[in-house]
């Protein structure tokens, strides 16, 4: 009887170990698949717009997905593949961090000297890691391993940490959907940094099943944040937008209230368009040159927006460049060749897709 009990206990222990291993493996594959899916959707959005800032975002998440895929393939093919692909993994991982910094530079420009310095540090860190891997492999002296690993993690963390914090604070002045996306993206990357640092400081516990399960769960929890930041689904954007529906209803009522006075309607419509989209300023055009209303525009900006509207063609978002970069968001009305033309900031092409849709819907209502 005692022997049977011991066998049952041993069997339960084996089953628990196998179950834990299966859970960890499945969660890792699921996380890799999720990263790859987010990367594909982000690349799709970039290909649709060819916007530079979207390109950097696609490169950032695409590189992270590539690192995750290489890690899973290495586990299947064994140490030989892992060693051979180490140089690629090092390079791609650093590129993922640098790409997010370049996105930050595209929307909130760094000083040229600062950008060159950071790029130099990233390149030097990559060369150090590759040199250690090429010369010593897994037999590098312990102090050298620690220095190389610390430099690698700290440089990557700095590349993504500073932009994440910047995005978080910049989100305060944005509309609700833009704010939610920017902060989800920030939290997702800051969570990755926290996981990396935790992995370093708790390396002695890495073999513990409970520790591995905790890390697997934490990694899975990051996926929804990145998904919401990079490519939020329509239902999630609608949920975020609920708090601004009252504004849209009030804007709709004003159309009826001021319909008899074209000048007042133009001014009121422009004010609501700016509030609904989070734009900085704008104008209401009737024809190519007649301005019915303006708000918050300098004289030079009026001419810039008129020129952008004249050359827009079928586009609704037109980048203007500059430092920091600005963009024009416009919606044409089906009356008198009129248009609402808004001056947006650097985040409009990336995070302003919902606001663009709102503007088109509102312009259609003003036209009726």
pLDDT, tens digit (0-9, with 9 covering 90-100), for 176-219: 888 888 899 999 999 999 988 887 777 666 667 777 777 888 88
**Average pLDDT score over the chain:** 80
Q: Tell me the pLDDT band of 368, cut-offs 50, 70 and 90.
A: low
The DSSP element (H or E) to which 12 belongs, if any, is helix 2-49
Q: What is the largest CA-CA distance in the chain?
A: 97
* Per-residue pLDDT at 293 exceeds 50: yes
Residue 368 CA to residue 232 CA, distance in Å, equals 31
Residue 283 has phi, psi (to 5 degrees) of -145, 160
Where exactly are the structural domains of the chain?
2-232, 243-367
Give pLDDT tens digits for 139-178. Answer: 778 777 788 888 888 999 999 999 999 999 988 877 788 8
CATH of 243-367, one of 3.90.226.10, 3.30.450.40, 3.40.47.10, 3.40.50.2000: 3.30.450.40
With a cut of 50, say whether residue 10 has pLDDT above it: no
Write down the pLDDT at residue 9: 37
Architecture of domain 2-232: Up-down Bundle (1.20)
pTM for the model stands at 0.80
- CA proximity to 38, closest of 225, 187, 230: 230
Q: What is the mean pLDDT of residues 11-17?
A: 39
Query: 109: which DSSP letter?
Result: P
Name the percent of the chain lying above pLDDT 70. Answer: 85
220: pLDDT strictly greater than 90: no
Nearest Cα to Cα of residue 100 among 221, 220, 192: 192
Coil/strand/helix, residue 336: coil
Cα dihedral 185→187→190→192 (10° resolution): -80
Q: How far apart are the first and last CA of the chain?
A: 86
Q: What is the mean pLDDT of residues 73-99?
A: 86
**Whole-number Å distance between alpha carbons of 297 and 342:** 10
Contact 167, 185 (CB under 8 A): yes
Instruction: Point out the least confidently predicted range of 13-22, 190-199, 276-285, 357-366.
Output: 13-22
* Residue 225, token pair as written in the block: 């944040």
Residue 13: what pLDDT? 41
């Amino acid at each position: 009887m005692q022997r049977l009990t011991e066998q049952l206990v041993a069997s339960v222990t084996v089953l628990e170990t196998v179950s834990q291993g299966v859970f960890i493996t499945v969660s890792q594959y699921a996380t890799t698949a999720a990263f790859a899916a987010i990367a594909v959707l982000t690349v799709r959005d970039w290909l649709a717009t060819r916007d530079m800032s979207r390109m950097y975002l696609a490169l950032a998440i695409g590189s992270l997905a590539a690192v995750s895929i290489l890690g899973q393939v290495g586990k299947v093919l064994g140490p030989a593949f892992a060693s051979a692909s180490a140089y690629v993994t090092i390079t791609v991982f650093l590129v993922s961090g640098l790409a997010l910094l370049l996105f930050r530079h595209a929307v909130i420009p760094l000083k040229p000297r600062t950008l060159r310095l950071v790029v130099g540090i990233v390149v030097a860190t990559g060369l150090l890691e590759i040199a250690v891997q090429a010369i010593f492999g897994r037999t590098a002296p312990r102090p050298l391993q620690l220095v190389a690993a610390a430099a690698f993690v700290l440089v990557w963390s700095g590349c993504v940490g500073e932009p994440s914090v910047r995005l978080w604070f910049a989100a305060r002045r944005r509309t609700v959907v833009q704010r939610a996306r920017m902060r989800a993206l920030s939290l997702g990357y800051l969570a990755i940094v926290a996981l990396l640092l935790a992995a370093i400081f708790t390396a002695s516990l890495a073999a513990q099943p409970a520790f591995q399960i905790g890390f697997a769960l934490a990694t899975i929890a990051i996926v929804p944040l990145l998904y919401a930041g990079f490519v939020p689904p329509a239902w999630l954007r609608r949920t975020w937008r609920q708090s601004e529906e009252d504004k849209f209803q009030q804007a709709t009522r004003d159309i009826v209230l001021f319909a008899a006075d074209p000048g007042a309607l133009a001014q009121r419509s422009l004010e609501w368009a700016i509030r609904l989209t989070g734009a900085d300023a704008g104008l209401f055009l009737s024809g190519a040159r007649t301005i019915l209303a303006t708000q918050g525009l300098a004289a030079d900006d009026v001419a810039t927006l008129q020129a952008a509207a004249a050359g827009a063609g079928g586009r609704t978002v037109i980048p203007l460049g500059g430092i920091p970069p600005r963009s024009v968001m416009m919606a044409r009305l089906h009356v008198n060749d009129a248009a609402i033309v808004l001056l947006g900031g650097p985040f409009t092409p990336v995070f302003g897709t919902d606001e663009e849709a709102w503007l088109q819907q509102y312009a259609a209502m003003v036209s009726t």
